[in-house]
Chain A
Amino acid sequence: MAVYKRRYNSYTGSLTPQWSRFFVLTRFAFADLFKSRFFVLLLILCIIPCLFSAGFIFVANNKTLQLLMQLRPDMDFFKVESQYFIIIMTMQTQAAFLLNCWVGPVLISGDLTNGALPLFLSRPFSRGDYVLGKLAVLGLLLSAVTWIPCLLLFTLQAGLASDGWIWSHLWMVIPIVFCSAIWILMLSLISLAVSAWVKLRIVATAIIFITFFIPAGLGEMFNAIMGTYWGGLLNFSSLYRQILIRSFRADSIMGAFTRGDDIPLPMAWAMLVLVCVFALFVLNVRLRAREVVRG
């Protein structure tokens, strides 16, 4: 089918492995995303707190610099311990939430608007591959602003600190990765589920915000009226924060009271997993090559 010959020829060349084809979606989505200056700016802004944190670690481990800055080296402020990573993780998960609100809503709706889904699914490409491809976009992007920079900060601290800091704090790697993973998974699946239902970006973004804030408000109302704490199950951010704090073996963030403290940790995990399962259910209903009208 060479251009100059203008005749049809079948393809006889090599094919890529089937397991890797979901990544085509990810690659094309990234190419589209990086065309937007706003997105690049947002991504840079999301990483900036980590740069300041790196500066903080450098100062915390440099006694000379502390003296030059006329700071007392024995101040608690300069300790790089659980609290430090809880704060960084909290900041970065909020950054991830904003990034997700910008990127997520258009990932699936763009394909559904003009009925492109049958084109994907008429190929050796399943709905699972499709969701995996789209999930990988958000997974990689949100990882780049959550656990990856946090692990880099951990590595920086381990490199600068002396007397075996790394061995006594190695356990922190697990909460950094796992807490980020559940947050990323939940955010991504909610975004994709919303994107599969709502075509307009602004409406989809509003719905993602609503998903996090309205149930939390309703939960608080429920708690106030019924005199219980189980309404906290509807506050996903609070549940995540609780998981984060307990995973880092702490009681609070800088001594501040956090809502949802009373909910048992397994229940908090179960609720976040349940949200993920519900989002998957929504995607399963919506992502069909052909819609069947009942009746």
Chain B
Amino acid sequence: MTTPTIELNGLEVQLGGRTILHGITGVLKSRAIGLLGPNGAGKSTLINTLLGFHTPSKGSARVLGLDSLASGKALRSLVGYMPENDAFISKMSGVRFVRYMAEISGLPSEQAMERAHEAFVYVGLGEARYRPVGTYSLGMKQLAKLAQAIAHGPKVLILDEPTNGMDPPARKRLIELIREIREASDICLLLSSHLLRDVEETCDEVLILRNGQIASICNLVEERRANRKFLELETIGAEASFTSALESIGCECAVFTSGRIKVVMPDSVEIREVFKVAADRGVQIRRMNHRRDSLEDIFLNAMEQSGVADGRL
């Protein structure tokens, strides 16, 4: 049995006399976990608690089987953390800053320097590595934060709002990097973001928080698999005979105006059979979509089920 990536056992965290996390319990087993929730839901508090910055008032949190409180140092030796807010030493050059952080993580001086250069080139800041970090643009600072988080080769990468303040191309590049890092190694990923697309593109499992409680834990891989057989078609031609032919091979159909048809296919039916039926009936398929519940639907459902759905992000 593999160790869950994150285990929360009745985790309650109080800050400044207020309860932020209300005894949350859950097990997240995937390698890439997304953390979603409206502002003030407790995402950053959860991350800070996992890192040992906050002490739970009740319950416990474990990452890769290590308790955030009892085995704090051991846990943090596995972690690479990219904070949400500005976090850098402005007068240091980028590469020296990353080397500094890598050495604090325990890398010997020479290896730290080598990894710092590699990390900077890898995140795409190779040209700017000798400039003071304080002179970087917002997007470059985000990338520098990512470089310091990966330079020491962590086993768990915690990214708090990684695409904050980035323009669309830079955001796309960062998301690609995160996916590459995830796929190139056995690293576990915990990504907190306001942007559902960021989570959708990088994560396998989502923990949705609302008012310090778990609104939903959703396995995106299973959701995607479950919705794979749901088609949306736009057709021109003999609709009635087409739908009855589809129903005869086991599909369920719902017909709408302007030739739009929704089809639920059983597992035994492949898409090519739909094309074949259409060709036999002389039906033109002008558009075909694999309809699946988007993360937005899942998120809004979770918000509705757990109380008032204000959809506020």
A24 proximity list for chain B (CB < 8 A): 100, 103-104
Return the chain A residue nearest B96 by Cβ. A28
A197 to B16, CA, bound (A): 20
A 17-37 contacts with B by CB, 8 A: 18, 21, 24-25, 28, 32
Q: Is the CB of B88 within 8 A of A290?
A: no
Which one of A3-11, A137-145, A160-168, A220-228 contacts B? A3-11
CB of A255 within 8 Å of the partner chain: no
CB of A41 within 8 Å of the partner chain: no
Cβ of A232 to closest chain B Cβ, rounded Å: 41
Q: Is the CB of A122 within 8 A of B184?
A: no
Q: Is the CB of A8 within 8 A of B181?
A: yes
Q: Is the CB of A2 within 8 A of B118?
A: yes
A124 to B79, CA, bound (A): 9
Partner of B81, one of A14, A16, A118: A118
A32 proximity list for chain B (CB < 8 A): 91
A118 to B107, CA, bound (A): 19
Q: Is the CB of A16 within 8 A of B106?
A: yes
A166 to B150, CA, bound (A): 57
Cβ of A159 to closest chain B Cβ, rounded Å: 38
Q: Is the CB of A7 within 8 A of B91?
A: no
Which one of A74-82, A95-103, A106-114, A271-279 contacts B? A106-114
Given contacts A7-B184, A10-B153, A16-B108, contact A122 B117 (CB under 8 A): no
Which one of B29-37, B69-77, B268-276 contacts A? B69-77
B 91-107 contacts with A by CB, 8 A: 91, 100-101, 103-107
Q: Is the CB of B17 within 8 A of A294?
A: yes
A16 to B107, CA, bound (A): 6
Q: Is the CB of B87 within 8 A of A3?
A: no
CB of B288 within 8 Å of the partner chain: no
CB of A151 within 8 Å of the partner chain: no
Report the tally of A-B residue pairs with Cβ distances under 8 A: 132
Among A12, A13, A110, A119: residue with most chain B CB under 10 A? A119
How many chain B residues touch A (Cβ–Cβ < 8 Å)? 51
Q: Is the CB of B104 within 8 A of A115?
A: no
CB of A266 within 8 Å of the partner chain: no
CB of A120 within 8 Å of the partner chain: yes
A64 to B17, CA, bound (A): 78
CB of B90 within 8 Å of the partner chain: yes
A7 to B153, CA, bound (A): 12
CB of B54 within 8 Å of the partner chain: yes
A158 proximity list for chain B (CB < 8 A): none
A15 proximity list for chain B (CB < 8 A): 106-108
A21 to B87, CA, bound (A): 20
Given contacts A10-B185, A119-B87, A289-B53, contact A126 B73 (CB under 8 A): yes
CB of A281 within 8 Å of the partner chain: no
B115 proximity list for chain A (CB < 8 A): 1, 11
A32 to B90, CA, bound (A): 13
Given contacts A8-B180, A289-B48, contact A119 B101 (CB under 8 A): yes
Given contacts A115-B86, A125-B104, A289-B53, contact A9 B79 (CB under 8 A): no
Given contacts A119-B83, A290-B53, contact A6 B48 (CB under 8 A): no
B265 proximity list for chain A (CB < 8 A): none
Partner of B87, one of A16, A18, A25, A118: A118
CB of B59 within 8 Å of the partner chain: no
A16 proximity list for chain B (CB < 8 A): 103, 106-108
Given contacts A121-B53, A290-B48, contact A9 B153 (CB under 8 A): yes
Q: Is the CB of B86 within 8 A of A289?
A: no
CB of B130 within 8 Å of the partner chain: no
A76 to B266, CA, bound (A): 109
A45 to B84, CA, bound (A): 45
A61 to B16, CA, bound (A): 67
A14 proximity list for chain B (CB < 8 A): 108, 111
CB of B85 within 8 Å of the partner chain: yes
Cβ of A17 to closest chain B Cβ, rounded Å: 8
In the complex, per-residue mask of B107-149: 1 if CB is within 8 Å of any chain A CB, else 0: 1100100010111011000100000001000000000000010
Cβ of B155 to closest chain A Cβ, rounded Å: 7
CB of B89 within 8 Å of the partner chain: yes
Cβ of B88 to closest chain A Cβ, rounded Å: 5
Cβ of A105 to closest chain B Cβ, rounded Å: 15
Given contacts A9-B185, A289-B53, contact A124 B106 (CB under 8 A): yes
CB of B51 within 8 Å of the partner chain: yes
A295 to B91, CA, bound (A): 35
A119 to B101, CA, bound (A): 8
In the complex, per-residue mask of B166-193: 1 if CB is within 8 Å of any chain A CB, else 0: 0000000000000011001111000000
B16 proximity list for chain A (CB < 8 A): 292-295
CB of B15 within 8 Å of the partner chain: yes
User: What would 26 A/B residue contacts be, using CB atoms closer than 8 Å?
Assistant: A6-B122, A7-B180, A8-B180, A8-B185, A8-B187, A11-B152, A13-B111, A15-B108, A21-B104, A21-B106, A110-B90, A114-B87, A114-B90, A115-B83, A115-B85, A116-B87, A116-B88, A120-B104, A122-B76, A122-B81, A124-B73, A125-B104, A126-B73, A289-B53, A294-B16, A295-B17
Q: Name 10 extra pairs, CB < 8 A, besides A8-B180, A121-B53, A289-B51.
A: A2-B118, A10-B155, A16-B106, A18-B73, A115-B86, A118-B53, A118-B87, A121-B51, A123-B152, A290-B48
The 3 closest A-B pairs by CB, nearest first: A11-B153, A15-B106, A122-B81
